[in-house]
Amino acid sequence: MSEPADEFHLYDTTLRDGAQREGIGYSVADKLAVARLLDDLGVDYIEGGWPGALPSDTEFFRRARHELDLKNATLVAFGATRKAGRAVEDDPQVKALLDAGTSALCLVAKSDVRHIRRALRTTVEENLAMISDTVSYAVAQGRKVFLDCEHFFDGYRDDPGHGTEVVRTALTAGADVVVLCDTNGGMLPHDVTEIVTELRAALDGTLPAGKSVRLGIHCQNDTSCAVANTVTAVKAGAMHAQCTANGYGERPGNADLFAVAGNLALKLGLPVLPGGGLAKMTRVSHAIAEIANLAPDTHQAYVGHAAFAHKAGLHASAIKVDPELYNHVDPAVVGNDMRVLVTEMAGRASIELKSAELGLDLTGRPDVTARVTSKVKELEAAGWSFEAADASFELLVREELDDTVPAPFSLESYRVIVEHREDGAVVSEATVKVRVRGERVIATAEGNGPVNALDSALRQALQRHHPALAEVELADYKVRILAGSHGTAAVTRVLIDSSAEDRDWTTVGVHENVVEASWHALVDALTYALAPAPAAR
Protein backbone atom coordinates (compact mmCIF):
# COMPACT_ATOMS: atom_id res chain seq x y z
CA MET A 1 0.00 0.00 0.00
CA SER A 2 1.49 3.31 -1.07
CA GLU A 3 1.15 6.48 1.03
CA PRO A 4 -1.61 8.55 -0.59
CA ALA A 5 -0.78 11.93 -2.03
CA ASP A 6 -1.16 14.38 0.79
CA GLU A 7 -2.04 17.59 -1.04
CA PHE A 8 -5.56 16.42 -1.77
CA HIS A 9 -7.65 13.50 -0.49
CA LEU A 10 -10.53 11.85 -2.26
CA TYR A 11 -12.16 10.11 0.70
CA ASP A 12 -14.86 7.52 0.12
CA THR A 13 -17.54 6.71 2.68
CA THR A 14 -19.76 4.45 0.58
CA LEU A 15 -19.40 1.66 3.10
CA ARG A 16 -20.25 3.77 6.16
CA ASP A 17 -22.34 6.87 5.45
CA GLY A 18 -23.45 5.55 2.06
CA ALA A 19 -24.80 2.40 3.69
CA GLN A 20 -27.37 4.60 5.47
CA ARG A 21 -29.40 4.67 2.27
CA GLU A 22 -32.77 3.06 2.69
CA GLY A 23 -32.68 -0.50 1.42
CA ILE A 24 -28.93 -1.00 1.37
CA GLY A 25 -27.67 -3.89 3.45
CA TYR A 26 -24.20 -5.07 2.53
CA SER A 27 -22.84 -8.43 3.63
CA VAL A 28 -19.21 -8.46 4.76
CA ALA A 29 -18.28 -10.06 1.42
CA ASP A 30 -20.13 -7.25 -0.39
CA LYS A 31 -18.15 -4.66 1.58
CA LEU A 32 -14.87 -6.33 0.72
CA ALA A 33 -15.86 -6.36 -2.95
CA VAL A 34 -16.81 -2.66 -2.88
CA ALA A 35 -13.52 -1.79 -1.16
CA ARG A 36 -11.56 -3.61 -3.88
CA LEU A 37 -13.42 -1.70 -6.60
CA LEU A 38 -12.79 1.65 -4.89
CA ASP A 39 -9.13 0.83 -4.43
CA ASP A 40 -8.81 -0.15 -8.06
CA LEU A 41 -10.52 3.13 -9.01
CA GLY A 42 -7.87 4.99 -7.03
CA VAL A 43 -9.55 6.81 -4.16
CA ASP A 44 -7.15 7.83 -1.38
CA TYR A 45 -9.17 6.69 1.63
CA ILE A 46 -11.90 4.11 2.12
CA GLU A 47 -14.01 4.45 5.25
CA GLY A 48 -15.06 0.87 5.99
CA GLY A 49 -17.58 1.22 8.79
CA TRP A 50 -18.01 1.73 12.51
CA PRO A 51 -16.36 -1.12 14.38
CA GLY A 52 -17.97 -1.78 17.73
CA ALA A 53 -21.26 -0.11 16.80
CA LEU A 54 -22.23 -2.73 14.23
CA PRO A 55 -21.06 -6.33 14.63
CA SER A 56 -20.81 -6.76 10.86
CA ASP A 57 -18.47 -3.74 10.67
CA THR A 58 -16.21 -5.25 13.34
CA GLU A 59 -16.18 -8.43 11.27
CA PHE A 60 -15.39 -6.42 8.12
CA PHE A 61 -12.26 -4.91 9.66
CA ARG A 62 -11.20 -8.29 11.02
CA ARG A 63 -11.47 -9.89 7.58
CA ALA A 64 -10.02 -6.83 5.82
CA ARG A 65 -6.70 -7.36 7.61
CA HIS A 66 -6.21 -10.67 5.84
CA GLU A 67 -8.34 -10.39 2.74
CA LEU A 68 -7.93 -6.81 1.53
CA ASP A 69 -4.69 -6.08 -0.25
CA LEU A 70 -5.17 -2.40 -1.08
CA LYS A 71 -2.91 -0.92 -3.74
CA ASN A 72 -3.95 2.73 -3.69
CA ALA A 73 -6.18 3.41 -0.75
CA THR A 74 -5.81 3.52 3.01
CA LEU A 75 -8.59 1.87 5.00
CA VAL A 76 -10.24 4.07 7.64
CA ALA A 77 -12.29 3.03 10.67
CA PHE A 78 -15.04 5.43 11.75
CA GLY A 79 -16.11 6.13 15.32
CA ALA A 80 -17.04 8.84 17.76
CA THR A 81 -15.12 10.92 20.23
CA ARG A 82 -15.16 9.56 23.79
CA LYS A 83 -18.36 9.71 25.80
CA ALA A 84 -18.99 12.75 27.97
CA GLY A 85 -17.63 12.28 31.48
CA ARG A 86 -15.55 9.22 30.66
CA ALA A 87 -11.77 8.93 30.32
CA VAL A 88 -10.81 8.22 26.73
CA GLU A 89 -8.74 5.17 27.66
CA ASP A 90 -11.77 3.62 29.41
CA ASP A 91 -14.19 4.20 26.54
CA PRO A 92 -15.14 0.85 24.97
CA GLN A 93 -16.28 2.51 21.73
CA VAL A 94 -12.86 4.17 21.33
CA LYS A 95 -11.18 0.87 22.16
CA ALA A 96 -13.20 -0.97 19.49
CA LEU A 97 -12.22 1.72 17.01
CA LEU A 98 -8.51 1.34 17.72
CA ASP A 99 -8.84 -2.44 17.79
CA ALA A 100 -9.97 -2.35 14.16
CA GLY A 101 -6.25 -1.92 13.48
CA THR A 102 -6.39 0.68 10.70
CA SER A 103 -3.62 3.24 10.32
CA ALA A 104 -6.23 6.01 9.85
CA LEU A 105 -9.34 6.84 11.85
CA CYS A 106 -12.22 9.18 11.33
CA LEU A 107 -13.82 10.54 14.50
CA VAL A 108 -17.20 12.22 14.45
CA ALA A 109 -17.77 15.08 16.87
CA LYS A 110 -20.60 17.48 17.48
CA SER A 111 -19.89 21.07 16.47
CA ASP A 112 -23.31 22.71 16.77
CA VAL A 113 -23.99 24.15 20.22
CA ARG A 114 -27.67 23.22 20.00
CA HIS A 115 -26.85 19.58 19.28
CA ILE A 116 -24.25 19.52 22.06
CA ARG A 117 -26.78 20.78 24.59
CA ARG A 118 -30.01 19.22 23.37
CA ALA A 119 -28.99 15.91 21.77
CA LEU A 120 -25.69 15.11 23.48
CA ARG A 121 -26.81 16.77 26.74
CA THR A 122 -23.39 18.00 27.71
CA THR A 123 -21.53 21.31 27.79
CA VAL A 124 -19.58 23.02 25.06
CA GLU A 125 -16.44 22.75 27.21
CA GLU A 126 -16.81 19.01 27.77
CA ASN A 127 -17.43 18.53 24.05
CA LEU A 128 -14.17 20.34 23.22
CA ALA A 129 -12.39 18.18 25.79
CA MET A 130 -13.88 15.04 24.22
CA ILE A 131 -12.49 16.12 20.86
CA SER A 132 -9.08 17.07 22.19
CA ASP A 133 -8.70 13.94 24.32
CA THR A 134 -9.79 11.49 21.67
CA VAL A 135 -7.74 13.02 18.87
CA SER A 136 -4.58 13.22 21.01
CA TYR A 137 -5.08 9.68 22.30
CA ALA A 138 -5.42 8.22 18.80
CA VAL A 139 -2.54 10.30 17.44
CA ALA A 140 -0.35 9.13 20.35
CA GLN A 141 -1.07 5.60 19.23
CA GLY A 142 0.33 6.40 15.82
CA ARG A 143 -2.92 6.81 13.96
CA LYS A 144 -3.71 9.45 11.37
CA VAL A 145 -6.92 11.13 12.54
CA PHE A 146 -9.63 12.87 10.56
CA LEU A 147 -12.30 14.69 12.52
CA ASP A 148 -15.81 14.99 11.08
CA CYS A 149 -17.62 18.05 12.51
CA GLU A 150 -21.26 16.98 12.47
CA HIS A 151 -23.73 19.78 11.64
CA PHE A 152 -20.80 22.13 11.14
CA PHE A 153 -22.46 24.60 8.77
CA ASP A 154 -25.70 24.94 10.74
CA GLY A 155 -23.65 25.25 13.92
CA TYR A 156 -21.35 27.86 12.42
CA ARG A 157 -24.27 29.98 11.33
CA ASP A 158 -25.67 29.79 14.83
CA ASP A 159 -22.34 30.49 16.56
CA PRO A 160 -19.32 31.12 14.30
CA GLY A 161 -16.95 31.54 17.22
CA HIS A 162 -17.74 28.12 18.58
CA GLY A 163 -17.53 26.47 15.17
CA THR A 164 -14.08 27.97 14.70
CA GLU A 165 -13.05 26.82 18.18
CA VAL A 166 -14.04 23.21 17.43
CA VAL A 167 -11.88 23.18 14.32
CA ARG A 168 -8.96 24.85 16.10
CA THR A 169 -9.19 22.38 18.99
CA ALA A 170 -9.07 19.35 16.69
CA LEU A 171 -6.19 20.68 14.57
CA THR A 172 -4.26 21.66 17.69
CA ALA A 173 -4.78 18.17 19.16
CA GLY A 174 -3.21 16.70 16.05
CA ALA A 175 -6.03 15.95 13.62
CA ASP A 176 -4.66 15.67 10.10
CA VAL A 177 -7.79 17.13 8.53
CA VAL A 178 -10.94 18.60 10.06
CA VAL A 179 -13.97 17.85 7.94
CA LEU A 180 -16.84 20.34 7.73
CA CYS A 181 -20.09 18.40 7.42
CA ASP A 182 -23.33 19.75 6.04
CA THR A 183 -25.12 16.97 7.90
CA ASN A 184 -28.65 18.23 7.25
CA GLY A 185 -27.73 19.14 3.69
CA GLY A 186 -29.33 22.56 3.73
CA MET A 187 -26.49 24.66 2.32
CA LEU A 188 -26.18 26.31 -1.09
CA PRO A 189 -22.85 26.96 -2.84
CA HIS A 190 -22.58 30.60 -1.81
CA ASP A 191 -23.09 29.59 1.85
CA VAL A 192 -20.23 27.13 1.56
CA THR A 193 -17.90 29.65 -0.06
CA GLU A 194 -18.71 32.25 2.57
CA ILE A 195 -18.31 29.98 5.60
CA VAL A 196 -15.17 28.16 4.42
CA THR A 197 -13.49 31.44 3.47
CA GLU A 198 -14.42 33.12 6.75
CA LEU A 199 -13.32 30.10 8.78
CA ARG A 200 -9.94 29.93 7.08
CA ALA A 201 -9.38 33.62 7.72
CA ALA A 202 -10.32 33.20 11.39
CA LEU A 203 -7.94 30.25 11.84
CA ASP A 204 -5.09 31.80 9.94
CA GLY A 205 -2.11 32.39 12.23
CA THR A 206 -3.91 31.09 15.32
CA LEU A 207 -2.64 27.50 15.29
CA PRO A 208 0.42 26.24 17.18
CA ALA A 209 3.69 26.06 15.25
CA GLY A 210 3.82 23.20 12.77
CA LYS A 211 0.03 22.91 12.44
CA SER A 212 -1.69 24.02 9.28
CA VAL A 213 -5.30 24.64 8.35
CA ARG A 214 -6.30 21.44 6.57
CA LEU A 215 -10.06 21.31 5.97
CA GLY A 216 -12.29 18.66 4.46
CA ILE A 217 -15.85 18.77 3.18
CA HIS A 218 -18.76 16.32 3.55
CA CYS A 219 -22.06 17.29 1.92
CA GLN A 220 -25.54 15.80 1.91
CA ASN A 221 -27.81 16.37 -1.05
CA ASP A 222 -30.93 17.85 0.53
CA THR A 223 -30.84 20.99 -1.62
CA SER A 224 -29.68 18.93 -4.63
CA CYS A 225 -26.34 20.74 -4.32
CA ALA A 226 -24.08 18.13 -2.65
CA VAL A 227 -21.72 17.82 -5.62
CA ALA A 228 -21.69 21.59 -6.21
CA ASN A 229 -21.12 22.33 -2.53
CA THR A 230 -18.24 19.86 -2.41
CA VAL A 231 -16.53 21.34 -5.46
CA THR A 232 -17.20 24.85 -4.17
CA ALA A 233 -15.58 24.02 -0.82
CA VAL A 234 -12.54 22.72 -2.67
CA LYS A 235 -12.38 25.96 -4.68
CA ALA A 236 -12.53 27.79 -1.33
CA GLY A 237 -9.58 25.80 0.00
CA ALA A 238 -10.77 22.41 1.30
CA MET A 239 -8.22 19.67 0.47
CA HIS A 240 -10.22 16.56 1.40
CA ALA A 241 -13.58 15.62 -0.11
CA GLN A 242 -15.83 12.94 1.39
CA CYS A 243 -18.12 11.27 -1.11
CA THR A 244 -20.06 8.07 -1.71
CA ALA A 245 -20.29 6.00 -4.87
CA ASN A 246 -23.38 7.04 -6.82
CA GLY A 247 -24.27 9.49 -4.06
CA TYR A 248 -25.77 6.73 -1.95
CA GLY A 249 -26.69 7.88 1.53
CA GLU A 250 -29.45 8.83 3.87
CA ARG A 251 -32.35 10.99 2.62
CA PRO A 252 -31.39 12.44 -0.82
CA GLY A 253 -27.93 11.02 -0.32
CA ASN A 254 -24.36 12.27 -0.26
CA ALA A 255 -22.08 13.92 -2.81
CA ASP A 256 -21.59 11.46 -5.66
CA LEU A 257 -17.98 10.31 -5.81
CA PHE A 258 -18.02 10.03 -9.59
CA ALA A 259 -19.40 13.50 -10.28
CA VAL A 260 -17.05 15.04 -7.72
CA ALA A 261 -14.03 13.20 -9.12
CA GLY A 262 -14.99 14.11 -12.69
CA ASN A 263 -15.43 17.76 -11.78
CA LEU A 264 -12.23 17.99 -9.75
CA ALA A 265 -10.11 16.21 -12.33
CA LEU A 266 -11.58 17.54 -15.55
CA LYS A 267 -12.75 21.01 -14.52
CA LEU A 268 -10.37 22.02 -11.74
CA GLY A 269 -7.38 19.99 -12.90
CA LEU A 270 -6.75 18.26 -9.57
CA PRO A 271 -4.82 14.98 -9.74
CA VAL A 272 -7.61 12.77 -8.36
CA LEU A 273 -7.92 9.11 -9.44
CA PRO A 274 -4.46 8.97 -11.00
CA GLY A 275 -3.24 5.97 -12.97
CA GLY A 276 -6.27 5.62 -15.22
CA GLY A 277 -8.90 5.66 -12.51
CA LEU A 278 -11.14 8.17 -14.29
CA ALA A 279 -11.64 5.77 -17.19
CA LYS A 280 -12.84 3.12 -14.74
CA MET A 281 -15.53 5.33 -13.21
CA THR A 282 -18.42 4.15 -15.34
CA ARG A 283 -17.66 0.49 -14.80
CA VAL A 284 -17.01 0.85 -11.06
CA SER A 285 -20.18 2.89 -10.59
CA HIS A 286 -22.28 0.18 -12.19
CA ALA A 287 -20.50 -2.66 -10.39
CA ILE A 288 -21.14 -1.02 -7.00
CA ALA A 289 -24.80 -0.53 -7.92
CA GLU A 290 -25.02 -4.24 -8.70
CA ILE A 291 -23.45 -5.17 -5.36
CA ALA A 292 -25.82 -2.80 -3.55
CA ASN A 293 -28.61 -4.47 -5.54
CA LEU A 294 -29.81 -1.12 -6.87
CA ALA A 295 -30.50 -0.20 -10.45
CA PRO A 296 -27.74 2.06 -11.80
CA ASP A 297 -29.03 5.61 -12.31
CA THR A 298 -29.35 5.99 -16.06
CA HIS A 299 -29.16 9.78 -15.85
CA GLN A 300 -26.24 10.06 -13.45
CA ALA A 301 -23.67 12.71 -14.46
CA TYR A 302 -20.52 11.34 -16.16
CA VAL A 303 -21.26 7.62 -15.57
CA GLY A 304 -24.96 7.16 -16.31
CA HIS A 305 -25.94 5.17 -19.35
CA ALA A 306 -27.63 8.31 -20.70
CA ALA A 307 -24.96 10.79 -19.52
CA PHE A 308 -23.81 11.34 -23.09
CA ALA A 309 -26.94 10.20 -24.91
CA HIS A 310 -28.28 12.76 -27.34
CA LYS A 311 -31.77 12.65 -28.67
CA ALA A 312 -30.31 13.43 -32.00
CA GLY A 313 -33.19 15.22 -33.69
CA LEU A 314 -32.16 18.34 -35.55
CA HIS A 315 -28.50 18.21 -34.73
CA ALA A 316 -27.63 14.60 -35.51
CA SER A 317 -25.19 15.34 -38.29
CA ALA A 318 -23.54 18.22 -36.43
CA ILE A 319 -23.07 15.99 -33.41
CA LYS A 320 -21.47 13.32 -35.56
CA VAL A 321 -19.08 15.74 -37.22
CA ASP A 322 -18.22 17.78 -34.14
CA PRO A 323 -19.01 15.72 -31.04
CA GLU A 324 -16.81 17.99 -28.91
CA LEU A 325 -19.28 20.83 -29.52
CA TYR A 326 -22.01 18.81 -27.82
CA ASN A 327 -20.27 17.03 -24.93
CA HIS A 328 -18.87 18.88 -21.94
CA VAL A 329 -16.10 16.30 -21.71
CA ASP A 330 -14.97 13.40 -23.89
CA PRO A 331 -17.08 10.44 -22.68
CA ALA A 332 -14.20 8.00 -23.17
CA VAL A 333 -12.19 9.84 -20.52
CA VAL A 334 -14.65 8.62 -17.89
CA GLY A 335 -15.13 5.20 -19.51
CA ASN A 336 -18.50 6.14 -20.96
CA ASP A 337 -19.74 6.44 -24.53
CA MET A 338 -21.64 9.00 -26.52
CA ARG A 339 -24.84 7.69 -27.98
CA VAL A 340 -26.73 9.49 -30.66
CA LEU A 341 -29.51 7.12 -31.55
CA VAL A 342 -31.90 5.77 -29.00
CA THR A 343 -30.21 2.43 -28.59
CA GLU A 344 -29.33 0.34 -25.63
CA MET A 345 -26.09 0.34 -23.78
CA ALA A 346 -22.51 -0.63 -24.12
CA GLY A 347 -20.07 0.83 -26.59
CA ARG A 348 -16.80 -0.43 -27.96
CA ALA A 349 -14.59 1.55 -25.62
CA SER A 350 -15.91 -0.09 -22.48
CA ILE A 351 -15.98 -3.54 -24.09
CA GLU A 352 -12.28 -3.24 -24.94
CA LEU A 353 -11.43 -1.85 -21.52
CA LYS A 354 -13.31 -4.60 -19.73
CA SER A 355 -11.83 -7.35 -21.91
CA ALA A 356 -8.32 -6.06 -21.30
CA GLU A 357 -9.14 -6.12 -17.61
CA LEU A 358 -9.90 -9.85 -17.93
CA GLY A 359 -6.69 -10.48 -19.86
CA LEU A 360 -8.44 -10.74 -23.21
CA ASP A 361 -6.72 -8.42 -25.64
CA LEU A 362 -9.09 -7.15 -28.33
CA THR A 363 -6.79 -4.48 -29.74
CA GLY A 364 -6.18 -5.26 -33.37
CA ARG A 365 -9.36 -7.37 -33.46
CA PRO A 366 -12.01 -4.82 -34.52
CA ASP A 367 -14.17 -7.68 -35.91
CA VAL A 368 -14.33 -9.39 -32.52
CA THR A 369 -14.94 -6.10 -30.69
CA ALA A 370 -17.78 -5.33 -33.07
CA ARG A 371 -19.39 -8.76 -32.60
CA VAL A 372 -19.04 -8.68 -28.83
CA THR A 373 -20.42 -5.13 -28.70
CA SER A 374 -23.41 -6.05 -30.78
CA LYS A 375 -24.10 -9.19 -28.75
CA VAL A 376 -23.79 -7.30 -25.45
CA LYS A 377 -26.11 -4.59 -26.76
CA GLU A 378 -28.68 -7.17 -27.73
CA LEU A 379 -28.46 -8.98 -24.39
CA GLU A 380 -28.51 -5.75 -22.39
CA ALA A 381 -31.61 -4.66 -24.24
CA ALA A 382 -33.16 -7.89 -22.93
CA GLY A 383 -32.14 -7.10 -19.35
CA TRP A 384 -28.73 -8.73 -19.03
CA SER A 385 -25.97 -6.81 -17.30
CA PHE A 386 -22.30 -7.67 -17.44
CA GLU A 387 -21.02 -4.89 -15.20
CA ALA A 388 -20.63 -7.22 -12.23
CA ALA A 389 -20.77 -10.55 -14.09
CA ASP A 390 -17.17 -10.84 -15.25
CA ALA A 391 -17.31 -14.61 -15.68
CA SER A 392 -20.36 -14.55 -17.95
CA PHE A 393 -18.73 -11.75 -19.91
CA GLU A 394 -15.50 -13.71 -20.30
CA LEU A 395 -17.42 -16.75 -21.58
CA LEU A 396 -19.13 -14.52 -24.13
CA VAL A 397 -15.92 -12.84 -25.34
CA ARG A 398 -14.04 -16.14 -25.59
CA GLU A 399 -16.79 -17.54 -27.75
CA GLU A 400 -16.30 -14.67 -30.19
CA LEU A 401 -12.51 -15.13 -29.99
CA ASP A 402 -12.91 -18.79 -31.09
CA ASP A 403 -11.69 -19.82 -27.67
CA THR A 404 -15.07 -21.16 -26.54
CA VAL A 405 -15.11 -22.69 -23.08
CA PRO A 406 -16.49 -26.24 -23.40
CA ALA A 407 -19.91 -26.85 -21.84
CA PRO A 408 -19.56 -29.46 -19.10
CA PHE A 409 -22.92 -31.05 -19.98
CA SER A 410 -26.04 -30.60 -22.06
CA LEU A 411 -29.52 -30.23 -20.60
CA GLU A 412 -32.45 -32.42 -21.47
CA SER A 413 -34.90 -31.09 -18.87
CA TYR A 414 -35.35 -30.11 -15.25
CA ARG A 415 -38.27 -29.87 -12.86
CA VAL A 416 -38.46 -28.10 -9.52
CA ILE A 417 -41.25 -28.52 -6.99
CA VAL A 418 -41.86 -26.33 -3.95
CA GLU A 419 -44.51 -27.51 -1.51
CA HIS A 420 -45.95 -25.95 1.60
CA ARG A 421 -47.46 -29.06 3.18
CA GLU A 422 -50.40 -29.40 5.48
CA ASP A 423 -48.10 -29.80 8.48
CA GLY A 424 -46.46 -26.44 7.66
CA ALA A 425 -43.23 -27.91 6.31
CA VAL A 426 -41.85 -26.22 3.21
CA VAL A 427 -39.87 -28.55 0.94
CA SER A 428 -38.08 -28.06 -2.36
CA GLU A 429 -37.07 -30.84 -4.70
CA ALA A 430 -35.39 -30.69 -8.10
CA THR A 431 -34.75 -33.29 -10.79
CA VAL A 432 -32.34 -32.70 -13.67
CA LYS A 433 -31.86 -34.86 -16.75
CA VAL A 434 -28.55 -34.15 -18.47
CA ARG A 435 -25.95 -35.64 -20.79
CA VAL A 436 -22.40 -35.61 -19.48
CA ARG A 437 -19.64 -36.88 -21.77
CA GLY A 438 -22.12 -39.03 -23.65
CA GLU A 439 -23.80 -40.47 -20.57
CA ARG A 440 -27.41 -39.66 -19.71
CA VAL A 441 -27.68 -38.85 -16.01
CA ILE A 442 -30.79 -38.24 -13.93
CA ALA A 443 -30.39 -36.79 -10.46
CA THR A 444 -32.82 -35.57 -7.82
CA ALA A 445 -32.01 -33.50 -4.76
CA GLU A 446 -33.76 -31.51 -2.08
CA GLY A 447 -32.77 -28.01 -1.05
CA ASN A 448 -33.81 -25.15 1.20
CA GLY A 449 -35.23 -23.38 -1.85
CA PRO A 450 -35.84 -24.09 -5.53
CA VAL A 451 -32.46 -22.80 -6.72
CA ASN A 452 -30.55 -24.57 -4.00
CA ALA A 453 -32.35 -27.83 -4.90
CA LEU A 454 -31.55 -27.31 -8.58
CA ASP A 455 -27.91 -26.53 -7.79
CA SER A 456 -27.62 -29.69 -5.67
CA ALA A 457 -29.27 -31.90 -8.28
CA LEU A 458 -27.02 -30.54 -11.04
CA ARG A 459 -23.83 -31.00 -9.02
CA GLN A 460 -24.90 -34.52 -8.16
CA ALA A 461 -25.44 -35.25 -11.84
CA LEU A 462 -22.02 -33.86 -12.79
CA GLN A 463 -19.85 -34.98 -9.90
CA ARG A 464 -18.54 -38.25 -11.30
CA HIS A 465 -17.29 -36.65 -14.52
CA HIS A 466 -16.27 -33.28 -13.01
CA PRO A 467 -15.02 -33.91 -9.47
CA ALA A 468 -13.47 -30.39 -9.37
CA LEU A 469 -16.97 -28.98 -8.93
CA ALA A 470 -17.01 -30.29 -5.35
CA GLU A 471 -14.76 -27.32 -4.48
CA VAL A 472 -17.10 -24.70 -5.94
CA GLU A 473 -19.30 -22.84 -3.50
CA LEU A 474 -22.30 -20.73 -4.36
CA ALA A 475 -21.29 -17.75 -2.20
CA ASP A 476 -24.03 -15.24 -2.92
CA TYR A 477 -27.15 -14.97 -4.96
CA LYS A 478 -28.85 -11.71 -5.97
CA VAL A 479 -32.14 -11.21 -7.70
CA ARG A 480 -33.51 -8.08 -9.33
CA ILE A 481 -36.83 -7.70 -11.04
CA LEU A 482 -36.53 -5.43 -14.06
CA ALA A 483 -39.61 -3.54 -15.09
CA GLY A 484 -40.75 -4.35 -18.59
CA SER A 485 -40.72 -1.71 -21.26
CA HIS A 486 -42.27 -1.27 -24.69
CA GLY A 487 -44.97 -3.82 -23.86
CA THR A 488 -42.62 -6.58 -22.80
CA ALA A 489 -43.13 -8.48 -19.55
CA ALA A 490 -40.93 -7.85 -16.52
CA VAL A 491 -37.86 -10.05 -16.39
CA THR A 492 -35.78 -11.35 -13.53
CA ARG A 493 -32.03 -10.89 -13.42
CA VAL A 494 -30.03 -13.24 -11.21
CA LEU A 495 -26.39 -12.76 -10.23
CA ILE A 496 -24.52 -15.67 -8.66
CA ASP A 497 -21.20 -15.21 -6.88
CA SER A 498 -19.18 -18.42 -6.77
CA SER A 499 -15.91 -19.20 -5.12
CA ALA A 500 -13.34 -21.98 -5.11
CA GLU A 501 -10.06 -21.88 -3.26
CA ASP A 502 -8.63 -18.40 -3.91
CA ARG A 503 -10.84 -17.47 -6.86
CA ASP A 504 -14.27 -15.94 -6.98
CA TRP A 505 -16.41 -15.04 -9.95
CA THR A 506 -19.86 -13.76 -10.82
CA THR A 507 -22.30 -14.93 -13.45
CA VAL A 508 -25.62 -13.63 -14.67
CA GLY A 509 -28.88 -15.07 -15.96
CA VAL A 510 -32.02 -13.34 -17.20
CA HIS A 511 -35.47 -14.77 -17.81
CA GLU A 512 -39.05 -13.92 -16.93
CA ASN A 513 -38.96 -17.00 -14.66
CA VAL A 514 -36.66 -16.65 -11.64
CA VAL A 515 -35.83 -20.36 -11.67
CA GLU A 516 -34.79 -20.34 -15.31
CA ALA A 517 -32.79 -17.11 -14.83
CA SER A 518 -31.01 -18.79 -11.91
CA TRP A 519 -30.39 -21.85 -14.03
CA HIS A 520 -28.56 -19.74 -16.65
CA ALA A 521 -26.36 -18.11 -14.02
CA LEU A 522 -25.72 -21.49 -12.39
CA VAL A 523 -24.67 -23.13 -15.65
CA ASP A 524 -22.31 -20.22 -16.43
CA ALA A 525 -20.88 -20.50 -12.91
CA LEU A 526 -20.08 -24.19 -13.25
CA THR A 527 -18.85 -23.82 -16.83
CA TYR A 528 -16.49 -21.07 -15.75
CA ALA A 529 -15.28 -23.17 -12.81
CA LEU A 530 -14.07 -25.82 -15.25
CA ALA A 531 -12.75 -23.41 -17.91
CA PRO A 532 -9.16 -23.75 -19.08
CA ALA A 533 -7.12 -20.51 -19.07
CA PRO A 534 -7.84 -18.30 -22.09
CA ALA A 535 -5.66 -18.91 -25.10
CA ALA A 536 -5.05 -15.18 -25.44
CA ARG A 537 -4.12 -14.50 -21.82
Residues 58-77 that bind a copy of itself (CB under 8 A): none
Burial 82-93 (b: 16+ CB within 10 A, else e): bbeeeebeebeb
* Interaction between residue 320 and a copy of itself (CB under 8 A): no
List binders of a copy of itself among 97-116 (CB under 8 A): 112, 114-115
Q: Cα–Cα distance between 175 and 166 in angstroms, integer?
A: 11
Q: How far is CA 255 from the centre of its chain?
A: 14
Q: Say whether residue 122 binds a copy of itself (CB under 8 A).
A: no
**16 forms part of the interface with a copy of itself (CB under 8 A):** no
What DSSP string describes 214-252?
-EEEEEB-TTS-HHHHHHHHHHTT--EEEEBGGG--STT
The site string for a copy of itself over 149-188 (x = CB under 8 A, - otherwise) reads --x--------------------------------xxx-x
Among 130, 259, 287, 441, binds a copy of itself (CB under 8 A): 259
Q: Are strands 9-12 and 240-243 parallel, antiparallel or unpaired?
A: parallel
Identify residues 332-361 at the interface with a copy of itself (CB under 8 A): 341-342
Which of 4, 216, 262, 335 touches a copy of itself (CB under 8 A)?
262
Binding status of residue 323 toward a copy of itself by CB under 8 A:
no
Write out the binding residues for a copy of itself, residues 477-516 only, by CB under 8 A: 477-483, 485, 489-490, 492, 511-516
Question: Nearest approach, Cβ of 247 to a copy of itself (angstroms)?
Answer: 8
The Cα–Cα gap between 242 and 11 comes to 5
Q: At what angle do helices 281-292 and 257-266 cross, to 10 degrees?
A: 170
List the one residue from 261, 451, 457, 508 that touches a copy of itself (CB under 8 A): 451
Query: Rule CB under 8 A: is residue 29 a binding residue for a copy of itself?
Result: yes
Site membership for a copy of itself, residue 330 (CB under 8 A): no
Rounded distance, CA 59 to CA 330, Å? 41
* Residue 340, phi-psi category: left (phi > 0), alpha (psi -120 to 50), beta (remainder): alpha
- For residue 316, state whether it binds a copy of itself (rule: CB under 8 A): no
Stretch that binds a copy of itself, among 15-23, 69-77, 81-89, 463-471 (CB under 8 A): 15-23
DSSP string, 438-483: TEEEEEEEEESSHHHHHHHHHHHHHTTT-GGGGG-EEEEEEEEEEP
The answer to whether the CB of 448 falls within 8 A of the CB of 263 is no
Q: Does 14 bind a copy of itself (CB under 8 A)?
A: no
Interaction mask 207-246, a copy of itself, x per CB under 8 A = --------------xxxxx-xxx-xx--x-----------
Check residue 269 for interaction with a copy of itself (CB under 8 A).
no
